[in-house]
Amino acid sequence: MIGDYLGLMDERDPLYNFLSNEALVGVLGVECCHPVFDVYRLDQNTTNWSVYHYAERHTAVHLVGKFYGNKWLDDGEPRSLDIRARLMYREFDNLCRVRAMGFDIAPHQVVRPLVCSEMINCVLLEDYIPGHNLDQYISEAIHCDRGEVLGDRLKETASFLADLHNRSQTQEPVDAASTLTRLDKIIDRLLVSQIITPDQHRRLKHLRDQWADSHILSQGQQVLIHSDVKPPHFIFNGEYGVTVVDFEHCRSGDRAEDIGQLVAELKHRFFQGTGDLWASEAHIELLYACYASYVPVVVDDFRAFTTRGRFYQGYFEARMGQNYHWLDTGYRRRLIEDAEACLNLQV
């Protein structure tokens, strides 16, 4: 996962001195009289490049810079520099917090944050972790018939998430009000953008109300969740085990949210790659089974957990239908149809 090569960093770039003095010398204690940085682009968002890999030639130090000044935010609207700076500091603090819980060594690691600066486009510098991310293993399973290897990676992912959730378990019930409010907004925006019909809008609102009335989403107990479990955020390397990045959204919530989102991601990636909405089912079943093996619960508890997971799968599929404007409209509508099926409590 080196990235697309862009060339050498210009020494007149303010980031050059920040990398040389603050990161290399100030944090890492690495002396280099004349650093030379090769620059690679890591992210795939072609409208707002925000993540870069910097490789220093003389010291073999590799760093990642994440620029919150460029980062595309969930609602797609521009945000002030002050808000972007707060998001940058929040991720730095979240990474430190989770690493302090014991996630600083293999096989379950969280990437190490080094230093950040709101003066240089709100950049957060982190260690660079070599290896392949989960998205690459999904692609190989789809196109190279390597489903068994993906299964192994999903087991490691489930193990990490269960470890994070188990270590942070509380006795406080999940507060589902904010999630239901966000679902309301998603459903309304889908109607405004004409991705769904008025009839579909009414059906989705009715399903949302059924979940609110059932109180099922409040049955879980709060844990610390990653809250952005997209496949590129899980990096695998034999030396490191699994290393997880992108903790800006980390918060207290329902453990079923992390699993439900990952299920939605698997559903989307396999459907997009194969044209078959059910191509991911075996991997989804494996993910749930592996996660359950790390979380000792009785059968009824696990049934309740998977029910909440189905809600979050539908929630995130609906959010994809709203946010993924670069995808074909027909494809987005098919995702929302599956989201509606997931949100149906009568199934």
28, 34 in Cβ contact below 8 A?
A: no
Regarding whether 120 and 27 lie in a shared domain, the answer is yes
Q: Please give the full DSSP string across 92-109, using - where no structure is assigned.
A: HHHHHHHHTTTTEETTEE
Q: Check whether residue 51 and residue 142 sit in a common domain.
A: no
Q: Are 226 and 244 in contact (CB under 8 A)?
A: yes
Selection from 69, 73, 53 nearest residue 126 by Cα: 53
Residues 147 and 231 in one domain: yes
Distance (Å, whole) CA 230 – CA 306: 19
User: What domain range is 269 assigned to?
Assistant: 132-343
Per-residue pLDDT reduced to its tens digit, 47-72: 566 899 999 999 999 999 999 988 76
Same domain, 178 and 68: no
User: Do 113 and 140 have their domain in common?
Assistant: no
> Are 120 and 144 part of one and the same domain?
no
45 and 152 belong to one structural domain: no
Contact 345, 295 (CB under 8 A): no
What CA–CA distance (Å, rounded) separates 293 from 242? 18
Averages of pLDDT over runs of 10 residues in the chain (347 residues) are 89 96 96 95 72 96 94 63 91 98 96 96 95 96 95 97 96 94 97 96 98 94 96 90 95 97 98 96 97 78 93 98 92 97 90
If asked whether residues 84 and 189 sit together in one domain, one would say: no
Please state, for a pLDDT cut of 90, what percent of the chain lies above it: 86
User: Which of 105, 127, 149 delimits the end of a domain?
Assistant: 127
Query: What's the predicted TM-score (pTM) here?
Result: 0.94
Indicate whether 238 and 335 sit together in one domain: yes
What Cα–Cα distance (Å) separates residue 275 from each residue in 142, 149, 267, 331?
A: 11, 21, 11, 9
